[in-house]
Amino acid sequence: MNIYRKLYRAAMMVVMLMIGAPAPADADVALYGTGDLGIVIERAAGSVVIIDTTDVVARSRVEGLGDLSHASAVFSRDGRYAYVFGRDGGLTKVDLLRARVSKRIVQSGNSIGGAISQDGTLIAVSNYKPGGVRVFDAETLAPVADIPAEMEDGTLSKVVGLVDAPGQQFIFSLWDAGEIWIADFMDRTHPKIRKYRNVGKNPYDALVTSDGRYYVAGLFGEDGLAMLDLWAPDKGITRILDHYGRGEEKLPVYKMPHLEGWAKAGNYLFLPAVGHHEVLVVDANTWQEVTRIAVHGQPIFAVARPDGRQIWVNFAHPLNDTVQVIDVPSLKIAETYTPGKAVLHMEFTPRGEQVWVSVRDEDRVDVFDTRTMKVMKSIVADKPSGIFLTARAGRTGL
């Protein structure tokens, strides 16, 4: 731990004693901020490692989170609590300061991620089984609403691409039905549901732009993307990039790309192409394709360095031992790294001086210094996958 933090805490304790204030039951918790914390998912062990990006260390481990084979997380507004969504339907509230499970429920048979509302009071979970979205109170995890994803034939659809949006809204896609729904929770006891039908075949994932304006769903069953302008919802769904992939032989898809791992840099959007060894470059103003960048394999995540100068890309099996770095001004590959088997996730610190890279089959997380482009430290973790930093608490759609 940084020596200055220790001195600060000691000084604060002295001041509290001098003024006669009672010492807190847990002084470290009372005096320690959360801005440089995050978690690493240990997918096989069902645990998370709490990390510190200032000291570049693993601070502690929290166990007992169930099946984390496809886990993700969001954070409370103050960054103290991580809400971890497990594949087994588990929703776990983790106290990052006390390094323990604060509350855990199993809310479905099979879930695929979640979101936190704009005001931080609601947690929504998207479910495969039973298909739909369930919403819970962020403080207690008590149930607030159940939204079955019922199709016209009465069966339930798998739900994917769940994100938060301005106006206390959650937006999500129905894989089986080819629909996009908006759930408005301004009145949490009587949410309003708006449905957009026939948006395309098998929406598999989605994103909301960082300004909260556009919801974009990728389509696995056909070429193109479905876009909804939340500033003009009455206009309905717009198809964009409709031509991409048409008439070309697609490769087998070993793992679905993550549109939530898209990147924006300047006036460009960088999107992973489904079934192609390419990253699509799109004009952020017109939503027209600018070019495609040939890459090492089928891209899973395309992540922008916070200053927008670089895009880091990882890949699906069997070429998942590699990370490539795209130089944005030239739109060319600038660096190629081979950290080891199964590079699953990358996360930049808020100001971009570090990028944390999980290497599942090597049981470690590599921390790159983005100035020198070298590994500054490696941290041991048990089959690490997702990396999530508390800076996400202040961002829409993450």
- State the total domains in the chain: 1
Question: What's the DSSP call for residue 9?
Answer: H
Instruction: Indicate whether 200 belongs to any domain.
Output: yes
Judge whether 104 lies within some domain.
no
Instruction: Give the pair of three-digit tokens for residue 154.
Output: 């009465």
Q: What is the 3-state secondary structure (H, E, C) of 174-194?
A: ECCCCEEEEEECCCCCCCEEE
Task: Read off the pLDDT band of 32 (50, 70, 90).
Answer: confident
The pLDDT confidence band at residue 205, using thresholds 50, 70 and 90, is: confident
Lowest mean pLDDT of 4-8, 17-21, 92-96, 379-383, name the range.
17-21
pLDDT for 18 beyond 70: no
Structural domain containing residue 157:
109-249
- What is the predicted pLDDT for the residue at 254? 47
pLDDT reported for residue 274: 75
Helix (H) or strand (E) holding 208: strand 203-208
Mean pLDDT of the chain: 89
Q: Is residue 103 part of a domain?
A: no
pLDDT over threshold 90, residue 259: no
pLDDT band for position 397 (cuts 50, 70, 90): confident
Take residue 105 and report the two structure tokens written for it: 């429920």
Once rounded to an integer, what is the mean pLDDT over residues 199-226? Answer: 90
pLDDT surpasses 50 at 19: no
Domain containing residue 164: CATH number = 2.130.10.10
Instruction: Report whether 114 contacts 85 (CB < 8 A).
Output: yes
DSSP H or E stretch at residue 384: strand 384-389
**Residue at 229 is within a domain:** yes
Considering the domain boundaries, does residue 119 fall inside one? yes
Q: What is the mean pLDDT of residues 90-96?
A: 98
Which one-letter DSSP state was computed for residue 235? G
Is residue 113 included in any domain, yes or no?
yes
Q: Which of 13, 133, 75 is nearest to 5 (CA)?
A: 13
pLDDT (tens digit per residue) in 234-253: 999 999 988 765 545 555 55
pLDDT of 75 reads 98
Residue 222 pLDDT class (50, 70, 90 cuts): confident
State the Cα–Cα distance between residues 7 and 340, nearest whole angstrom: 39
List pLDDT tens digits, range 283-306.
999 999 999 999 999 999 999 999
Q: Which of the pair, 226 or 247, is modelled with greater confidence?
A: 226
Query: Would you say residue 98 lies in a domain?
Result: no
> What is the structure's pLDDT at 60?
96
Asked if residue 391 is part of any domain, the answer here is no
Q: Is 23's pLDDT higher than 50?
A: no
Average pLDDT of the residues in 13-40: 62
Cα–Cα dist 125/135, whole Å: 6
- Mean pLDDT on 150-175: 96
When computed from its CA atoms, the radius of gyration of the chain, rounded to whole angstroms, is: 21
**pTM of the entire predicted model:** 0.90
pLDDT of 338-367, one tens digit each?
999 999 999 999 999 999 999 999 999 999
pLDDT grade for 88, boundaries at 50, 70 and 90: very high
Q: What pLDDT does residue 6 have?
A: 52
